[in-house]
Amino acid sequence: MSKPKFKNPVVNWIDYRLPIFTFMNHELNEYPTPKNLNYFWNFGSLAGITLVIMIVTGIVLSMNYTAHIDYAFDSVERIMRDVNHGWLLRYIHMNGASFFFIVVYIHIFRGLYYGSYKAPREILWILGVLILLLMMATAFMGYVLPWGQMSFWGATVITNLFSAIPLVGESIVTWLWGGFSVDNPTLNRFFSLHFVLPFVIVGVVILHLVALHRFGSNNPIGIDVKGKQDTIPFHPYYTIKDLFGLSVFATVFAAAVFFFPNFMGHPDNYIPANPMVTPAHIVPEWYFLPFYAILRAIPDKLGGVLFMFGAIMVLFVLPWLDKSSVRSSQFRPLYKLFFWFLVIDCIALGYLGAMPAEGIYVVLSRLATAYYFFHFLIILPLLPKIESTRPLPVSISTPIITASSNASTVMAMREKK
């Protein structure tokens, strides 16, 4: 085992017994990465950094927060007014949640566009969807903690969804609440779970990275790395690119935190929770709006809940719904079209989720919901049967083959698949 790999003898001594430096060198330094990644591949690292920001600010906030219905609201205001730079910590944490979702949604749509969920990256994708689910649970419970009007009524509406479960629904809701309404026990357990779930997310993120490093990143043309000529070491090429991406992201994030900190929040959450007064419109945070629209689109309560969860569940089985062997939409003209339809559909659902559930909005929500599932359950499985994909390049290093170029190499590629 032999020749020292590192210049520093202490590092070598440790590495011989605990090969942590070899591991880091392998995974962060020489880790071979496709050389053609575009800026959409920045969003994975941005999500990871945002998670760290959320955990660090969250831990400091928790040192000043009181999880009790009589004190929670005022303890948050104490952070805003009396804790040194408490307003900065809270606004970073509060806006960080929104930015975490923005980053993760872009990350997910990047995966959809470039077919990053396809073999052999199915488990990588599934772990990602699991992270999304955990994020949603964490964000929901975090929103309850300031104990404002939207905190309280959002918690009431969402926990009540479980009462739709036949037979045991009501008992489950009572069990979730720790009582017969959203009250102090609910706030306490939400605080506890909001504290612990981010660390569960960290665990799943580590698995996500292990799965990623098994086959490496997908890339914009979606074909496998054919050899050394297709890759470059992660460091310094992608470390500097991620740093640049981070600095641009941080600029936008800072603009929100310092100049528009409450833009993505709801004014009602600056009114202390009052179980006797229901707000005119109970709206969840913006990142839940598409799911909220699906929930309200279904006229049946249980049906609505099932469809809402189904909207996420369908992502778990996505690798098996999309049967096309071509990953990137660059070579799938029809899929590309439907991808953008899906994006528009999701934005439409988000918009409809914010509108009152009445009149034309209900009809539109139903259409948009139907299209969401139609995309995943009907279009994706059928598409490969009718779609003629564009010729794939031979490798990442070979210039993209134009339509007029030699078709035989393309045929050879196809046969290999």
Partner 1 sequence: MRFSKSVLYFLILFNFFLSKLALSAGKAIEYPDKNWSFSSIFGTFDKASAQRGFQVYKEVCAGCHGMRLISYRNLAALGYNQDELKAIASQFEITDGPNDDGEFFTRPGRPSDKFASPYPNKKAAIAANGGAYPPDLSLIIKARPNGANYLHALLSGYVEPPKNMKVPEGMYYNKFYSGNLIAMPQPLYEDGIEYLDGTKASPDQMAIDVTTFLAWASEPELEERKQLGITVILFLIVFSILSYFSMRQIWAPIKNKN
DSSP state of 400: P
**Which C-beta is closer to partner 1: that of 268 or that of 387?**
268
The answer to whether 94 and 261 are in contact (CB under 8 A) is yes
3-state helix, strand, coil in the chain (%, to 5): 70, 0, 30
H/E stretch holding 34: strand 32-34
The answer to whether 264 and 58 are in contact (CB under 8 A) is no
User: Per CB under 8 A, which region of 191-199, 200-208, 312-320, 350-358 contacts partner 1?
Assistant: 350-358
If binding is defined by CB under 8 A, does position 74 make contact with partner 1?
A: yes
* CA 206/CA 211 separation, integer angstroms: 9
The correct pick among 88, 165, 321, 410 for binding partner 1 (CB under 8 A) is 88
The correct pick among 41, 43, 99, 113 for binding partner 1 (CB under 8 A) is 113
**Which C-beta is closer to partner 1: that of 173 or that of 294?**
294
Per-residue burial over 275-306, b = 16 or more CB atoms within 10 Å of its CB, e = otherwise: eeeebeebbbbbbbbbbbbbbbbbeeeeebbb
Catalytic residue among 241, 266, 322, 375: 241
Query: Is 213 a residue of the active site?
Result: yes
Query: Is 217 a residue of the active site?
Result: yes
**Which C-beta is closer to partner 1: that of 127 or that of 349?**
349
If binding is defined by CB under 8 A, does position 227 make contact with partner 1?
A: no
**Which C-beta is closer to partner 1: that of 88 or that of 200?**
88
Distances (CA, A) of 348 to 198, 251, 284, 292, 341: 30, 28, 16, 12, 10
Catalytic residue among 217, 324, 328, 329: 217
CB-count exposure of residue 158 (10 Å: 0-12, 13-18, 19+): buried
If binding is defined by CB under 8 A, does position 53 make contact with partner 1?
A: no
If binding is defined by CB under 8 A, does position 71 make contact with partner 1?
A: no
- Give the active site residues: 213, 217, 241-242, 285
Per CB under 8 A, residues contacting partner 1 are 35, 38-40, 74, 77, 80-81, 87-88, 91, 113, 220, 232, 236-237, 240-241, 243-244, 247-248, 250-251, 254-255, 257-259, 261-264, 266-268, 270-271, 280, 286, 329-330, 340, 343-344, 347, 350-351, 354-355
